[in-house]
């Protein structure tokens, strides 16, 4: 059984993150793709529709920028309802996907911490809808209360970068703030604390093992950023090659003044966008699980102390 509540050092935080995916990765990502499948399919349809409309107008207007701009503006003016509806659907789907995917690793680890081993999509969905109202409140509180303060702090750190001391401060502050927000979120959902109570608790946890905590966060973020950048660049060069081949083939055809919308090209762009969204969520899940290892490690002291008190109480009663 995977032990969540145990004291970890920097290497343990990283190692246990990958050990978790070794033990639970198959079930973790199975539930992830099942719950995200319908949302991603709808998102892909919306993206494909928008791309198809734009390519059709490029075909009708040719490559003249002024004519293309006028035609697109005219189309948007005559189809405001469709454009607004598609934008609203995209924003709503993106918000729901982001909300679930950010909470999913926290809820998954919470169920493991409660002693559950075998659970399915229904268990995760029930847990998610149970805390949905709390997630909305957390989002509102973060957006209007926490985010402005963090933004001011980051602006100050940015201006400090003009002097030498600002650069190391920024390298410390960014992982520290990121970890603080995740500890706040874990405490809010896992311990059933109120918003400000979990905020104070996150500040306390961050101070418990500060350098080990931010060091772990900095390393895992660098690893994920490097891997994601490498994959993104591969997709970028493949896309450039396909687009170049498409333009060369189109210019060699009889229709020299227009660009014919290719379902293959539109489909490829749609697939790339969806793949990048999936990869972004997967890497985000890995980081959030790593933050969970930090959270449960910092909480292990209180848990072990409470267990010791319970054992002393049981011994006294005997």
Domain ranges in the chain? 10-306
Residue 93: predicted pLDDT:
74
Residue 256: predicted pLDDT:
46
Let me know if 93 is exposed, middle or buried by CB neighbors in 10 A (0-12, 13-18, 19+). Answer: middle
- pTM for this prediction: 0.80
Q: pLDDT per position in the chain (318 positions), as tens?
A: 678 888 888 888 899 999 999 888 888 888 888 888 877 787 788 777 777 766 665 555 554 555 555 655 666 666 667 777 777 877 877 787 788 888 899 999 988 888 777 778 888 888 888 888 888 888 888 888 888 888 888 888 888 777 767 778 888 888 999 999 999 999 998 887 888 899 999 999 998 888 999 999 999 999 988 988 888 888 778 777 776 776 666 655 555 444 555 677 777 777 888 888 888 888 889 999 999 999 999 988 766 555 544 444 444 445
Residue 310: predicted pLDDT:
45
Residue 253: predicted pLDDT:
53
Residue 311: predicted pLDDT:
44
Residue 308: predicted pLDDT:
47
- Radius of gyration for the chain, computed over Cα atoms and rounded to the nearest angstrom: 24
**DSSP characters over the chain:** ----SS---HHHHHHHHHHHHHHHHHHHHHHHHHHHHHHHHHHHHHHHHHHHHHHHHHHHHTT-HHHHHHHHHHHHHH-HHHHHHHHHHHHHHHHHHHHHHHHHHHHHHHHHHTT-----HHHHHHHHHHSHHHHHHHHHHIIIIIHHHHHHHHHHHHHHTTSTTHHHHHHHHHHHHHHHHHHHHHHHHHS---HHHHHHHHHHHHHHTHHHHHHHHHHHHHHHHHHHHHHHHHHHHHHHHHHHHHHHHHHTSS-TTS-PPPHHHHHHHHHHHHHHHHHHHHHHHHHHHHHHHHHHHHHHHHHHHHHHHHHHHHHHH-
Residue 89: predicted pLDDT:
75
């Amino acid at each position: 059984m995977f032990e969540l509540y145990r004291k970890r050092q920097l290497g343990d935080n990283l190692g246990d993150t990958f050990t978790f995916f070794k033990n639970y990765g198959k079930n973790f990502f199975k539930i992830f793709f099942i719950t995200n499948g319908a949302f991603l399919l709808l998102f892909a349809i919306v993206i494909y529709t928008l791309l198809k409309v734009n390519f059709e107008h490029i075909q009708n207007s040719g490559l003249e920028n002024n004519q293309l701009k006028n035609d697109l503006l005219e189309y948007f003016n005559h189809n405001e309802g469709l454009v607004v509806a598609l934008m609203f659907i995209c924003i709503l789907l993106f918000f729901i996907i982001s909300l679930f995917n950010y909470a999913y690793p926290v809820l998954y680890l919470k169920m493991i911490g409660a002693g559950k081993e075998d659970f399915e999509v229904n268990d995760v969905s029930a847990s998610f809808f149970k805390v949905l109202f709390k997630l909305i409140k957390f989002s509102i509180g973060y957006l209007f209360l926490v985010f402005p303060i963090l933004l001011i702090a980051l602006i100050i750190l940015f201006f400090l970068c003009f002097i030498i001391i600002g650069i190391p401060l920024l390298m410390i502050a960014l992982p520290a703030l990121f970890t603080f927000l995740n500890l706040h979120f874990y405490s809010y959902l896992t311990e059933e604390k109120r918003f400000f109570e979990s905020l104070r608790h996150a500040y306390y946890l961050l101070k418990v093992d500060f350098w080990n905590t931010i060091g772990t966060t900095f390393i895992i973020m660098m690893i994920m950023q490097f891997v994601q950048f490498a994959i993104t660049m591969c997709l970028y060069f493949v896309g450039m090659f396909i687009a170049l081949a498409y333009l060369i083939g189109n210019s060699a055809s009889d229709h020299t003044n227009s660009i014919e919308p290719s379902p293959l090209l539109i489909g490829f762009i749609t697939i790339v966008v969806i793949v990048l969204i999936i990869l972004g969520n997967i890497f985000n899940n890995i980081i959030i699980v790593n933050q969970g290892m930090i959270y449960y490690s910092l909480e292990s002291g209180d848990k072990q102390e409470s267990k010791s008190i319970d054992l002393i109480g049981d011994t006294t009663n005997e």
